[in-house]
Structure 1
Amino acid sequence: MIIALMLYAASAALVRGAPFSKRNGNSLMMPLTHVDDSFYTTNLEFGNPLQSVDLVVDSGSADTWVMSSSNPFCSSNSNTRSNQTYDGSRITSTIDCQGLSTFNVNASSSFRNLDIGRFYINYTDGSLADGYWATDKVLADSVDVSGMQFGVAEYASAEISGILGIGFPRRESVRGYTGAPNKFYDNFPQVLKDKGIISTVAYSMYLNDPNGNSGSLLFGAVDPSKYSGKLYTFPMVNTYPNIVKVSATLAMTLQGIGARNKNQQQTFTNTKSAVLLDSGTSLMAAPQEIVAKMAHFISENATYSESDGVYTMECPADDDDTEFVFEFGDLFISVPLSTLILTPSSGSLCGLGVLPTEDESWTLGDVFMSYAYLVFDLDNYQISMAVAKFSKDGNQEASVQIQSDGTIPGAIKASAEPWTTNEPLTVSGSIFGNKKANSTSVSSSSFTSSTRVRSDTARETGVMKATSFKKSQISPALSHTANSASILSTKSTDRPISSVTSVAKSSSDTGKSVYTSIFTKYIYAATTVACNIS
């Protein structure tokens, strides 16, 4: 299976998520809180009596896990530091858990340790989540999802309360390490379907204005008031075609990308590419040559900084109207330059929040997804997209139900040809041409706080970059995934195999980075995503 990939850069304590709104028909709306402009959390309640826990929402992973209140990596639990150990070594580095909503298993009368094996994630920067699998009473507002399997991290060294994974179940972290249960299970979205709360495993993601603090996740339905124009439905693409029969990631086809402002416009490529849409990523990752073109469109003097891992340039003027246009054939989504500019913690140069990959892989994170209204249908392997309409209230209403066959009343089946195989990036004409790219322009907004990125496609680089304008605010990266090499492996081990193609020096090593810390992923060898697929 694919081990799920996570990367978070937390600069402050998590904010308690808003309560769930009412259930409406075969749907469930979960408000999202935008924490420090860095990631999105929602709230679940665990145990008897109930304990409220804020979880980072990630469409790129599948497991739900919570941090144990007894976690010895928490500084508040380290009064007897000399006695606090992990894996035989004394714990010398701790995190501040005072603002986190951890879970006290001993305070719940309904808690059950499943005793099926270990829950485990390990990271090359030293961070980890390690514990066991459990069930308990779990509520999403008044909606009972008890019986859902989740991980309890007895040891966790990253400053988050936990994760709500809403990706494909075959991405679950149940294989590839010592003590793994080696058995898939019904994760949160599937449990909602099993209990009849939704009729199909599909959800609408609305991240709202990237400057705002609220969005929403609507399971089983669509809210047309949260998007402009038409909603188009595209097929997911299988980025592992030689290994599995169906899609394993939330990926679709990008037909081309370019940029424009009042003075010029340029197409960077109109070669079809598979792009991962991932709410667990703040920024973007794109092929090196595309990022270079983006940077030099902004400034001819843009230069790649090896120490920072980003292109740097003189900070654009406040009235710079440059926008990057993403073409999906039937639809264009525009992202203003101001959203992608990284303001340095020192010095006069700004950074571009699009990180280059050497393997031509693409990840479109929150800075892109904020401008798109997205519907992910995991049962029918399709993604619907429209231009997001920002609102003061991030909540969605269940006004259009998603049918069991994936039909969304009013949505239009996309006509663009999907990606099938990798091809050299070329330019043969303009994406602007006769198509109405201008119709999808959106107002610009600034994005000036800590962010993170991860790249997760079949051509994974093995390098992740946690971006922050203040290096000291970066917490350890959470990440684990599998690439094409590990998917083909049949070894089962808790030792990583690395697919690293290049690793820039970490800012912790150089002490000079004002934008990024770089972490190399652990890639677990296992029989992978081919499991659980007919």
Structure 2
Amino acid sequence: MPFSSPRILLGLSALTLLLFHVSDVTASLFSVHKRSPKVVGFDFKKQVPRNTPLANRLRKRQKTVAANIDNEQIAYLINMTVGTPGQPFSVQLDTGSSDIWIPSTESDACREDEQACQTLGQYDSSASSSYVDVGVGQFQISYEDGSAVTGDYINETLAIGNTVIKRQTVGLAFEATRPFGVMGIGYVADESIAATNPNGLYQNVVAQMKDQGFISTLAYSLWLNDLNSLTGSILFGGVDTAKYHGNLVVLPVQTTNGSYTDFTVALSSVSVLDCSGAVQFSQTNLALPVILDSGTTDAYLPDSVVNPILGGVGVINDKDYGAIVSCDLANSPATLSFSFGGNGGPTISVGLGEFVTPVYDEEGNQPTFKDGDTICSWGLMSSGTGPILFGDAFLRSAYVVYDLTNNQIGMAQTNFNTTDTNVVEISGSSIPGASITASAVMASQTFSGIPQETNAATKTGTTQATVAHGSPTFNLCVSQTGNAKKGAASAVGPPRIEITSVTTGLVLLLSLAFGSSVVLLRW
């Protein structure tokens, strides 16, 4: 298993501490400018604090519908209903798995955290006239973070806004280590049942959208927006050309043991650039297989690549708080540059601050180093002996098109915080407006993991660490400010739950699990 830094939970449950903000949220709307008959839109909302282990490594082991998304600095949730009449849920969007699952009212997770399940959704089979149990005890899935879910397969009516999908196969969890579900939107071949019954594969939610006529092809695009943004969007069946800069370059998805199961592309080089653009670190000709996974919070690279970066940035690996840095680094104009596919491939620039996020103790306070600098979490770590993953810390800076029909990925530099939109349907054998590049040959993954620091910070009753923060060796152009002392940008307290829509796609009315509604457009 890859190195996974420990997280400090926010007392009670990390969810419950933040759920008090939910009733205050509302959704907003903006106009769209182009008609696209088969691009469908849904609303996402950001909701889970970074300190929960839930989204730190949500990736299944071994293995144009438009939706708006909100950034909780850890997970991206989509609203839907299940059953007849519909029972509301907020579930995590995950490109790294392929099953939808939801917790049952009878699940151990909902018995242990009743408030979270009441807020995020729990399924009562006796309250639905469309419930059909098609696989008693057959649903089993486990994730890289060590969590596991077991239960039944059911067929149910699933509605995301006005998009109503009939006879959708859903995992109904009776035993789960987390109080809310997942919407996996990966390849059908990566469904959890493949491990025990390869002939039992079913049409997952993306395939059902195509089969039932909502989109023309198995494809979607993801725009997470920046770390401090409240909103982002996903388009099933379409591309929004206003959401990225430069060229949208296509890379072939790489196979695993001859099959398409993950969104793996070839990483060619990694560089660190200071505020003047001078190279502080660079490794080229890497040919590394990187999985693009929205269900993972951070990014993970091999030791040989990431350890020089950790030292250059001044990361300390702490037994209580994980990989930590001074929150001052959030103000650095330095960037990390990632190139894919060899010559002609896309290069994505990620601001250093995208990897710097707040840390909280059990009381919801931000701990400090001995010198008073606020501790933040660092989101680029060693993959250890596990897969190389690029999660949300990277994906926020990339506009990514996932084309499951043609087994290709389109990638471009994201256009942060734009309210413009220009949606184009994906209807043929290519991604609209994209160019093609050959992919580099991939290398195998054999890595030992990041070493544990012996001189790390430790918790005290005053949430002050007993050691000073690390000393960066890169020129990061960091200047301490009063705001930096308080933590990463807009992070002076636990992240609030907020919902704001960035709307594209057909007209959909969402009844949110938190009592507000969102209108999405059809054009």
TM-score in same-fold range (> 0.5): yes
* Corresponding residue to 1:166 among 185, 193, 196: 185
Shift of 1:97: 2.6
**Deviation above 6 Å: which 4+ runs of structure 1?**
7-10, 16-23, 123-126, 447-450
State the Cα distance separating 1:318 from its structure 2 match: 5.8
Matched, 1:217 2:196: no
Code of the aligned partner of 1:47? G
2: CA distance, partners of 1:168 / 1:202: 11
1:370 aligns with 2:396: yes
Match of residue 26 from structure 1: 38
2:302 equivalent to 1:282: no
SS in 2 for 1:376: strand
Asked if 1:338 corresponds to 2:353, the answer is yes
- Per-residue deviation, 1:249: 0.6
Q: Is residue 18–residue 31 contact of structure 1 (8 Å, CA) maintained in 2?
A: no
Asked if 2 retains the 8 angstrom alpha-carbon contact of 1:138 and 1:145, the reply is yes
1:58-457 equivalence runs, <5 A: 58-75=94-111, 96-115=116-135, 117-121=137-141, 127-160=147-180, 162-176=181-195, 183-238=200-255, 240=256, 243-244=257-258, 246-262=259-275, 264-270=278-284, 271-299=286-314, 302-305=315-318, 309-310=322-323, 312-316=324-328, 319-328=331-340, 329-344=344-359, 345-348=366-369, 349-359=375-385, 361-391=387-417, 399-405=423-429, 407-414=430-437, 416-422=438-444
**SS of equivalent to 2:203:** coil
- Taking the aligned partners of 2:147 and 2:337, their CA distance within structure 1 comes to 37
Partner of 1:41: 77
Counterpart amino acid of 1:62? S
Distance 2:329 2:190 in 1: 43
Change in CA separation of 1:423 and 1:392 when aligned onto 2, cut-off 3 Å: closer
Change (3 A) 1:107 1:447: farther
Shift of 1:252: 0.8
Distance 1:289 1:308, change over 3 A: farther
Tell me the distance in 2 between the aligned counterparts of 1:337 and 1:125. 25
Tell me the alpha carbon deviations over residues 153-186 of structure 1, each in whole angstroms, 9 at most, x when there is no partner.
Answer: 12323122x1111001111111546xx7961111
Higher RCO (CA < 8 A, seq sep 6+): 2
Partners of 1:113 and 1:375 in 2: how far apart? 34
Label 1:169 to 1:347 Cα distance change in 2 as closer, same or farther (>3 A).
same
> 1:360-391: CA deviations, max 9, x gaps?
84211111111111100011110001111123
* Matched residue SS, 2:118: coil
Residue by residue over 1:377-425, the C-alpha shift from the partner in whole angstroms, topping out at 9 and shown as x without a partner, is 01111000111112365x966x2111232x12321112x5423334999
Inter-CA distance 412–115: structure 2 relative to 1 (3 Å threshold): closer
Asked if structure 1 preserves the Cα contact closer than 8 Å seen for 2:356 and 2:376, the reply is yes
Aligned counterparts of 2:171 and 2:488: Cα–Cα separation in 1? 36
Show structure 1 runs of 5+ residues with no match: 1-6, 79-92, 426-444, 451-468, 471-534
Change (3 A) 1:401 1:420: same
Given residue 279 of structure 2, which amino acid in structure 1 is its aligned partner?
Q
CA gap 1:359/1:317 in 2 versus in 1, 3 angstroms: closer
Paired amino acid for 1:71: S
The verdict on how the C-alpha distance between 1:266 and 1:26 changes in structure 2, with shifts beyond 3 A counting, is: same
Deviations 1:276-330 (A, max 9, x none): 100001111111122221123224xx444466553x4555456422111112243
* Paired residue secondary structure (1:137): strand
Query: What is the TM-score of this pair, normalised by structure 2?
Result: 0.68
Q: CA offset at residue 19 of structure 1?
A: 11
Q: Is the 8 A contact 1:252 1:274 kept in 2?
A: yes
Task: Indicate the SS of the match to 1:164.
Answer: strand
Counterpart CA distance in 2 for 1:223 and 1:193 is: 19
Return the letter of the residue paired with 2:172.
V
Deviation of residue 359 (structure 1)?
Answer: 3.6
Q: 3-state SS of the aligned residue for 1:69?
A: coil
1:340, 1:353 within 8 Å by CA — same for their partners in 2? yes
CA distance in 1, matches of 2:263, 2:244: 20
Q: How far is the alpha carbon of 1:142 from its aligned partner? A: 2.0
Q: Paired residue for 1:12?
A: 15
Give the direction of change, closer, same or farther, for the CA distance of 1:320–1:421 in structure 2 (3 Å limit): closer
CA contact (8 A) 1:17 1:41 kept: no
Matched AA of 1:101: G
- Measured in 2, the distance between the counterparts of 1:250 and 1:62 equals 12
Report the secondary structure of 1:99's partner residue: helix
How many residues were matched structurally?
397
Native 8 Å contact 2:266 2:287 kept in 1: yes
Q: Distance in 1 between matches of 2:144 and 2:161?
A: 37
TM-score relative to the length of structure 1: 0.66
